[in-house]
Structure 1
Amino acid sequence: MGHTKHGVGHVETQFQSITDDFGPFTFASGQTVDSLTIAYETYGTLNADRSNAILLFHALSGSQHAAGVNPDVPNIEGRWTPDCHQGWWDDFIGPGRALDTDRFCVICANYVGGCYGSTGPASINPATGLPWASDFPHISVNDVVRSQARLLDALGIAKLHAVIGPSTGGLACLNFATTMPERTGLVI
């Protein structure tokens, strides 16, 4: 990922299993899934003690692509349209911007159940070999928060500098801060 004077430049979505090292994920509905992958992007660099991370929760219909240009996300069968290529919060993320990538590492992840790379209804159910479709577990805001906490665990981040998010992302921020206050610095 290269920075430009206009923002963060070209970025690529990364993928992280949140079950390989942590075991199956149980949703608030009681349903358990053995394998979950979260799609995410990062902007900026984690410092040595990993204390400069900001977790950005997106709006309900958003994606992990908050800044820069990302022309392709693998394996999402045509859902990554040209409208998705420019980050949805590009004006706010980058060197010298509100979420200053010279100081902070901003992480934005697609929600579990989302359609932009995280495991969800369009993913293959390993038990049937078919898409999960309506068999995918019902998802709560707390499920989103707990799945992203597992992503942070996989990235070795114990405590965030801040959580931030617009719309539904703001609700997720409040849920994160109230259920995991020991992992939360600022709530924006």
Structure 2
Amino acid sequence: MGELHTETGGHLPDVRLAYETWGTLDADGANAVLVLHALTGDAHVASHRADPSAGWWEELVGPGRAVDTDRWFVVAPNMLGGCDGSTGPSSPAPDGAPWGSRFPFVTLRDAVETERRLAEHLGVTAWQAVIGGSMGGARALEWAVTHPEMVRGVAVLASTACSSAEQIAWAQAQTQAVRLDPDWAGGDYHPGPGPVVGLGIARRIAHTTYRSAAELEGRFGRAAQGAENPFGTVAGPRAGRYQVESYLDHQAAKLVDRFDAGSYVTLTEALMSHDVGRGRGGVEAALAGYPGRAFVAAVDSDRLYFPAESERLARLLPGEVPVHTIASPIGHDGFLTEYAQVAEELKAALEL
């Protein structure tokens, strides 16, 4: 993708983006759909011949699905700053050593710029739709506002036009958990293993916000792990643990095994900076200039990206944009697990 001068004055002399594609691009380059991942996602949205494993939005992309790869050329990039093939803190800098602490602060607008270059590289002239949930939805909005001439339709699931104070607060706790791990070493711990304890704590915090209180209570309550008594005595040492603790430990271990702590901090802080109205006269003015189709969905039990925030986003987009509700007891992650509830509505709204 060449060199990149970031929004805040940083510099990357040579940026690489990992990506996957499905379907065939038409001669005019206009039958393309861009699908954008959430915070710790990657480019593997759906299975394909080269990688038959199920993707993270398997129900969305494929032959005969809502985004029909027999008709559409689908592109899914790994975001700038990530650790699944795109340039990030664990990537080698020009001197051959990992970027580490030298990796610049990047924003979602920087990510969109690299994705625009990817579109140019692939010969894409217009996106029939840019689709994303959570951080992917924030990037989708940045695409629509930054390059409205290229985006015929935008779909934003479980996301907002700007990060709220509460979302920033939860994110700050996570980045601090990583940075306060002694093995963070100022960000220069590569090749590792690095701050795995801090990253695990960050994931526990994040996953709690991704799930609803009702789901955690219904699944685990105060139950003990196995046959152990997790309570001990009031005055004595605690024995055993709760089932919900084991669940969070499992989620932390899964992420630590596959994700770089530096990328986690980089992407989290990029999402903290999300504000489509920055430098554009505010959110209302920025969204008013988007002329394309729009689809907005919220998860009814989401306690990280509240449905009311989706309703505000829909009101500020031009035209009559309804908010489609995903009914799920699990919380924010419902946009991934219960996507099929709104697949047909998204297809119709974006003329897919």
Report TM bin, short chain.
Answer: 0.7 to 0.9
Report the equivalent of 2:77.
109
Is the Cα contact below 8 Å between 2:33 and 2:73 reproduced in 1? yes
Q: 1:95 aligns with which of 63, 87, 91?
A: 63
1:36 aligns with 2:7: no
Is the Cα contact below 8 Å between 1:56 and 1:108 reproduced in 2? yes
Shift of 1:116: 0.2
Shift of 1:135: 1.0
Q: Check 1:119–1:44 CA distance in 2 against 1; reply closer, same or farther (3 A cut).
A: same
Is the Cα contact below 8 Å between 1:111 and 1:144 reproduced in 2? yes
Shift of 1:86: 2.8
C-alpha distance after superposition, 1:103-160 (max 9, x if no partner): 101100000110000011110011x321001211111111111110010011111211
Report the equivalent of 2:100.
133
Report the equivalent of 2:41.
62
Q: Taking CA–CA contacts closer than 8 Å with sequence separation of 6 or more, which of the two structures ends up with the larger relative contact order?
A: 1
Report the equivalent of 1:183.
150
In structure 2, give the amino acid aligned to 1:112.
Answer: L
Query: Could you state the TM-score of these two structures normalised by the residue count of structure 1?
Result: 0.78
Q: 2:127 aligns with which of 145, 160, 169?
A: 160
C-alpha distance after superposition, 1:64-113 (max 9, x if no partner): 110006888xxxxxxxxxxxx53111121111101110110110000011
Report the equivalent of 1:144.
111
Q: 1:119 aligns with which of 76, 80, 87?
A: 87
Q: What is the Cα-based RMSD across aligned positions, in Å?
A: 1.5
C-alpha distance after superposition, 1:15-46 (max 9, x if no partner): xxx11xxxx21111211111111000001111
Query: Could you state the TM-score of these two structures normalised by the residue count of structure 2?
Result: 0.42
Is the Cα contact below 8 Å between 1:112 and 1:144 reproduced in 2? yes
Query: What is the alpha-carbon distance in structure 1 between the residues aligned to residue 49 and residue 93 of structure 2?
Result: 27
Query: What is the alpha-carbon distance in structure 2 between the residues aligned to residue 43 and residue 157 of structure 1?
Result: 13
Alignment gaps of 5+ in structure 1: 1-17, 73-84
Is the Cα contact below 8 Å between 1:69 and 1:87 reproduced in 2? no
Query: What is the alpha-carbon distance in structure 1 between the residues aligned to residue 102 and residue 56 of structure 2?
Result: 30
Report the equivalent of 2:168.
none
Query: What is the alpha-carbon distance in structure 1 between the residues aligned to residue 116 and residue 41 of structure 2?
Result: 19
In structure 1, give the amino acid aligned to 2:144.
Answer: A
Larger Rg: 2
In structure 2, give the amino acid aligned to 1:54.
Answer: V
Q: Check 1:167–1:70 CA distance in 2 against 1; reply closer, same or farther (3 A cut).
A: farther
Higher helix share: 2
Higher strand share: 1
Q: Secondary structure at the match of 1:150?
A: helix
